[in-house]
Amino acid sequence: MNVSAFSDPVLPRLSARREVFWINPALSPNNGFCEGEGITAADVDAASDRLDRFAPLLKKLFPETAANGGLIESPLVGTERLQKALAAAGIPVKGRLMVKMDADLPVAGSVKARGGVYEVLAHTEDLAFRHGLLSGPGDDYLKLADEPARAFFAARKIQVGSTGNLGLSIGIMGAALGYKATVHMSADAKQWKKDLLRKKGAEVLEYDGDYAEAVANGRRLSDIDPDSYFVDDENSKNLFCGYAVAGRRLQAQLKKAGIPVDVDHPLFVYIPCGVGGAPGGVTYGLKSVFGSAVHCFFAEPVAAPCMLLGLASGQYNGICVQDIGLDGKTAADGLAVGRCSAVAAKWIRALLSGEATVRDDVLTPDMRLLWQTERLFIEPSAAAAFAPLKALLTTGQGARYLSERLSPAAAENATHILWATGGSLMPETERNRLLADGG
């Protein structure tokens, strides 16, 4: 495909596998919040309420959630040592730098635990209401851990296509409730993730092709089985809403920490992006809470910038990275996606501040830097979050973005959050290999 057919000048640079920093020309006026067609802030509130209803059951099934009363949540960590190390490397972060450790989320060890677990719970609640396992929202959800309910779920399937982390969340949660959980995994998926899923009781079907092939096969096999439910990462409103609950959770954490967020104390958030559901949902949730006070940026590999391609071309999922000569192959396995989610792209089109792409050889050094300075471990794909932070603070485009939207005082009072999207379930041998020579 001839990228010159599109007006956005970033596209030839994407085709050339160059690192780019792109400011979204469709960002809403004054960086404000606007609801998407078919989704509202009330949908996110409803998702939050549903997770509260399931909290006692989650606490029983996953004792590691007990400290948070059955809520699946991650710590927000201050990173002063990392901030000093970045400054020494010529990347001065004014204000406060923090890491949102979704790598440590209970159940699935990644940001996918938010949307993936929520999607399974939403489907489970729907079945429970329709078939009399629960009388309504006020019933005792612990009943769903009893034998009659488990026998009911054992006769039903949940399927998903994944490069890894979404598969972990769907497979682990589905199997814990008693479903026959099948995860269709692309060639990009790490072997340890496949092994862990099988250990947790899920079936794993492997494909030689990419993410798109895994999703297509999973959808096809699920569609011919009336007792199967397919989790559609490309089109799911439930997944999106589950991720979006993070906005309300982060608001509470910042308030507890005494950190203000307003136009004089802006919030900048940097999130790795694959198909777009997770970062899109998080962005939507943050914007619905903080409005113009929050600035959200995505990060994608140079080989698989599917969301940036979809947004910059205006084609959404009508174009894939292979169309512009890229192969989609990257060490960031969770981000190895060739075609973005159309619904996620449309819902965050006016909410996203911008994107940065990143080379594979940068990921492990940044992952090691976080470990060396803070003893926080994340997987390489999660380290992509560093890319838009660096680009915003070291490029002319970044300087223009900041000067046009922030006063000098506001820039000094900003809070910057790297959204660490996964890594805690990685086996120790794999972790040690990645950290070798890293301190």
Longest dimension (CA), the chain: 62
Q: How many CB atoms lie within 10 A of CB 117?
A: 26
- Structure-block tokens of residue 414: 């900003």
pLDDT number for residue 139: 96
Residue 164 is given by DSSP the state S
CA gap 146, 60 in Å, rounded = 11
CA gap 51, 46 in Å, rounded = 9
pLDDT number for residue 333: 84
pLDDT < 50 positions in the chain: none
CA gap 267, 293 in Å, rounded = 6
Q: How many CA atoms lie within 13 A of 50 on its CB side?
A: 22
pLDDT number for residue 354: 97
Chain position carrying tokens 């929050």: 294
CATH topology of domain 3-108+240-435: Rossmann fold (3.40.50)
Q: Are 244 and 237 in contact (CB under 8 A)?
A: no
pLDDT number for residue 438: 56
CA gap 368, 362 in Å, rounded = 10
- Structure-block tokens of residue 292: 């113009």
Give the start-to-end residue ranges of the domains of the chain. 3-108+240-435, 112-236
- Rounded alpha-carbon distances, angstroms, from residue 33 to 27, 41, 140, 278, 351: 10, 10, 36, 18, 7
pLDDT of 238-250, one tens digit each? 999 999 999 999 9
CA gap 197, 169 in Å, rounded = 9
pLDDT of 123-159, one tens digit each? 999 999 999 999 999 999 999 999 999 999 999 999 9
Q: What are phi and psi of 22, to 5 degrees?
A: -120, 125
pLDDT number for residue 6: 59
pLDDT number for residue 188: 75
The CATH number for 112-236, chosen from 3.40.50.1100, 3.30.1340.30, 2.60.40.1120, 2.130.10.10, is 3.40.50.1100
